[in-house]
Amino acid sequence: MARKITIEPVTRVEGHGKVTIQLDDSNNVAQSRLHIVEFRGFERFVQGRPYWEAPVLVQRLCGICPVSHHLAAAKAVDVIVGAGTGDGLTPTGEKMRRLMHYGQFFQSHTLHFFHLASPDLLFGIDGDPAIRNVIGVALEHKDLAVQAVLMRKFGQEIIRATAGKKIHGTGAIPGGINKSLSNEERDEFLKGADPLNVDKMIAWAQAAVDLFKDYHSKHADMLDNFAVFPSNHLSLVRKDGALDLYHGVLRAVDSEGKKILNDVDYQDYVNYIGEEVKNWSYMKFPYLKSIGKKDGWYTVGPLARLNTCDFIPTPLAQKEFEAYKAYTKGKPNNMSMHMHWARLIENLHAIEMIKELLNDKDIQGKNLVTKGKKQHEGVGLIEAPRGTLFHHYRINDQDQIVMANLIVSTTNNNEPMNRAVTHVAKSVFSGKSEITEGMMNSVEVAIRAYDPCLSCATHALGRMPLEVAMYDSKGDIIDVKRK
Amino acid sequence: MQNRILVYGYGNPGRQDDGLGPALVERLEGERLPGVATDSNYQLQIEDAVAVAESGTVIFVDATVSGDGPFTFTEIEPSGEITFTTHTISPGSILALCHELYSKEVRAYVLAIRGYGWEFVEKLTPEAEKNLEEAYRFLVEKISDIMNMSETVTLN
């Protein structure tokens, strides 16, 4: 009798994720899918609102990465107010935004590694779930946990100083920024009492990369073979090919490194990116039009960014990048668990950039905003911690938004996450007659590597348990488990 | 300051009643009560353990999707549970982090206010507004009780 196993929702990711694994009569995996079961409806919600509200409105989308949405919307609105397509801001405007963005990266990547990924690595995928969490990390690796807490705090303070406040920040405005950094704020970040200063943060970010490399040297078999599959990769890169998380041109490479999207202007993204709808998921499936729906899907995020860029423009991260690239002999890295390695290298780059910006006198400039001839349409792209984030708005003569299209990072990673689930399901579930917690967690580990944010805007108490349901071939539930 | 009370509201004000926690904190800030610190964010996070560890008492304020009454007020203990999502973290886990990282025992409560709507709207539902009002009056009295209790303990 064919069986369907349902894991709902996925723990340690956001929103209503559900994994179904369809077994055939021989208990082999016939099909697996990651379903997204909440419909956001946000694009319709913003229609009719004045365009200048967009950078604040969009933060309602996500309590996890509001800064990314804030900045992507601001970049789109920059185009509308005639401030150029990403490189027309004043030096102070652009650098303050970058500082905010790198602060977001630093706290987000830190959270993902220490809170979401390290429990699986330190205690094992099938480790005791009672301690396989951040509290377990605090118990067994106190120094690491203290570092994680203070690195998060440092990143959040950067955001507070640049965005103005933690909820619905207003730092980025059409054509620029509404404040520069004071001497006191700058000095606090540069010379704050140990350990809350940028040099200590750089040291800890470097230590985190070293920690991963040490772990990799002992567990290469698992990290190199878990959810490995060929993929295209897409991200922004600077015009000279450098890693740039704030602005650049769109580049994509295939699984062998051949350029399949060659540094194009993202204002024209609709010419290159399509979005397919499938009847079993609310989340769309983006693809490269030049390759087609079947094979044009791509990965975004840390793994993709280090596959598309040619170099990293900060010294410590560049040194780590060279070692990372050498491991795959310069070829694109298609190992899902190496997403963690790439993420930690980016984290090091982010904190190096924070130091560089703090020492830049432009960060305290007074020329904050630029404007030009108004346009009726604008596209803003940014590399969010989870991957490339698209915001596209069209307005009418009354300045109201009449069209909005958002492709969020997790949507871009829809197909690769499904591929990762399938890869793990086939290797872990096939031939098994019982489902263990470790098997379930293997699927979640594959998804978590992508750091998805499915529908994270609400989280009220008592909302969602973890439920495991098994169905027979007729669709009747034969077993239900709650986590 | 160990006797300080921290009132921490969390939730997304852009998602209707999910913003009950920050709404209550915003209102409480206007009172400027001595010895009471406030904070709010979209969700709790691991770094909040630092501020909680510096407090004598913490009151977490969140929206809840269930329950008959306008609100519940419950004392909580440290817990190492895996929450549904660890992009956020439970109040019990924050207390556990305080204990493990800073060896701090903090008295903690959760004020859970019943909400009803969770759409992309930056306004509470009328029913949630009423619940917020009742919860607010309760909280001000409770803070006074805790302060008095703290003074009594100090005098003894």
Mean pLDDT of A329-333: 97
Q: Which residue of A has its CA nearest to B46?
A: A149
Residue range A81-119, pLDDT digits in tens: 999 987 899 999 999 999 999 999 999 999 888 888 888
pLDDT band at A476; cut points 50, 70, 90: low
Helix (H) or strand (E) holding A130: none
Q: What is the mean predicted confidence (pLDDT) over A122-141?
A: 82
Of all residues in chain B, the one with the smallest CA distance to A166 is B41
Out of A273-277, A310-314, A321-325, A425-429, least confident range = A425-429
Q: Would the pLDDT of A469 be above 60? A: no
Cα separation values, B67 from A97, A462, B15, Å? 43, 10, 19
Collapsing DSSP states into helix, strand and coil, what is residue A192? Answer: coil
> Which comes out higher in pLDDT, residue B119 or A296?
A296
Q: Between these two residues, A469 and A208, which has the higher pLDDT value?
A: A208
CA distance, residue B21 to nearest chain A CA (Å): 10
Q: What is the per-residue pLDDT for A433? A: 67
pLDDT category at B151 given cuts 50, 70, 90 is low
Most confident of the ranges A125-129, A138-142, B70-74: B70-74
- Here the tokens at position A116 are 């979401």
Region A288-307: mean pLDDT is 97
Q: How far is A310 from chain B (nearest CA, A)?
A: 31
**B27: confidence class by pLDDT, cuts 50, 70, 90:** very high
Cβ–Cβ below 8 Å for B84 and A453: no
Q: Distance (Å, rounded) from C-alpha A382 to C-alpha A244? A: 9
Buried b (16+ CB within 10 A) or exposed e, A393-411: bbbeeeeebeebebbbbbb
CA A481 to chain centre: 30
User: B120 to chain A: which residues are within 8 Å by CB?
Assistant: 41-42, 45, 60, 457
ipTM of the complex: 0.82
In this prediction, residue A38 carries a pLDDT of 54
Higher pLDDT, A128 or B102: B102
Q: Tens of pLDDT along A212-263? A: 999 999 999 999 999 999 999 999 999 999 999 999 999 999 999 999 999 9
Residue A320 binned pLDDT confidence (cut-offs 50, 70, 90): very high
* Residue A14 pLDDT level (bands cut at 50, 70, 90): very low
Residue B90 near residue B83, CB atoms below 8 Å: yes
d(CA A27, CA A48): 52
* pLDDT tens, position by position, B42-69: 888 888 999 999 999 999 999 998 888 8
- pLDDT beyond 50 at B121: yes
- Kindly indicate the confidence band of residue A129, based on its pLDDT and cuts at 50, 70 and 90: confident
pLDDT at A466 over 80: no
Asked if A211 and A194 count as a contact pair (C-beta separation under 8 A), the reply is no
Q: What is the dihedral of CA B63, B69, B70, B76, to 10 degrees?
A: -50
B81 pLDDT more than 80: no
List CB contacts (< 8 A) between A462 and chain B.
Answer: 64-66
Task: Calculate helix-pair angle for A315-327, A198-218, nearest 10 degrees.
Answer: 10
Task: Give the whole-angstrom CA distance, residue A392 versus residue A353.
Answer: 27
Q: What's the average model confidence in pLDDT over A476-482?
A: 53
The alpha carbons of chain A give a radius of gyration, in whole angstroms, of 22
* Residue A6, Ramachandran bin (φ over 0: left; ψ between -120 and 50: alpha; else beta): beta
Q: For residue A5, what pLDDT band results from cuts at 50, 70 and 90?
A: low
Query: Nearest-CA distance from B3 to chain A in Å?
Result: 23
What was the pLDDT predicted at B136? 97
Identity of residue B100: E
What are the tens digits of pLDDT across the range B7-17?
A: 999 988 888 89
Q: Which residue of A has its CA nearest to B112?
A: A461
Query: What are the chain A neighbours of B83 within 8 Å (beta carbons)?
Result: 11
Between A167 and A362, residue with greater pLDDT = A362
What chain B residue is nearest to A13 in terms of C-alpha separation? B85
Contact at CB, A152 and B118, closer than 8 angstroms: no
* Partner-chain contact B14 A168, CB within 8 Å: yes
Residue in the block written with tokens 């990072």: A409
User: Which of B64, B85, B101 has the highest number of chain A CBs within 10 A, making it the mutation to test binding with A?
Assistant: B85
Res A112: pLDDT:
87
Residues in contact with A330: Cβ distance below 8 Å, sequence separation at least 6, in sequence order = A257
Q: Model confidence at A353, in pLDDT bands (50, 70, 90)?
A: very high
Q: Which of A41, A460, A464 shows the shortest C-beta gap to B64? A: A460
Q: Which helix (H) or strand (E) holds A233?
A: strand A232-237
pLDDT (0 to 100) of residue B155: 47
> Model confidence at B82, in pLDDT bands (50, 70, 90)?
low
3-class SS of residue A121: helix
> B80 and A145: CB-CB below 8 Å?
no
DSSP helix/strand/coil, A273: strand
Q: What is the mean pLDDT of residues B119-145?
A: 94
Q: List, for residues A18-37, the tens digit of each pLDDT value.
A: 778 877 887 788 888 887 65
Question: Do A111 and B87 make contact, defined as CB atoms within 8 angstroms?
Answer: yes
Beta strand A377-384 pairing with A298-299: unpaired
The answer to whether residue A72 scores a pLDDT higher than 70 is yes
Residue B107 tokens read as 């008295």
In the beta sheet, which residues pair with residue A274?
A287
Spatial CA neighbour of B105 closest among B77, B85, B130:
B77
Coil vs helix vs strand at A37: coil
| 8 Å CB contact of B85 and A134 | no
Considering CB atoms only, which of A45, A130, A133 is closest to B86?
A133
Average pLDDT, chain A: 87
List CB contacts (< 8 A) between B84 and chain A.
Answer: 9, 11, 463-466
pLDDT tens digits along A33-58: 887 655 566 788 789 999 999 998 88
Cα distances (angstroms) measured from residue A362 to each of A83, A85, A90, A186:
18, 20, 9, 12
Q: Which of B8, B12, B95 to mutate to test the interface with A (most CBs of A within 10 A)?
A: B12
C-alpha–C-alpha distance, residues A300 and A307, integer Å: 10
Mean pLDDT of chain B: 87
Is B64 in Cβ contact with A461 (below 8 Å)?
yes
Question: Long-range contacts: A387-390, Cβ < 8 Å, 24+?
Answer: A387/A235, A387/A299, A387/A300, A387/A301, A387/A304, A387/A305, A387/A412, A387/A413, A388/A234, A388/A235, A388/A236, A388/A250, A388/A300, A388/A304, A388/A412, A389/A68, A389/A69, A389/A72, A390/A72, A390/A266, A390/A269, A390/A273
pLDDT at residue A130, rounded to an integer: 77
pLDDT band at A318 (very low <50, low <70, confident <90, very high): very high
For residue B10, the Cα-to-chain-centroid distance in whole angstroms is 7
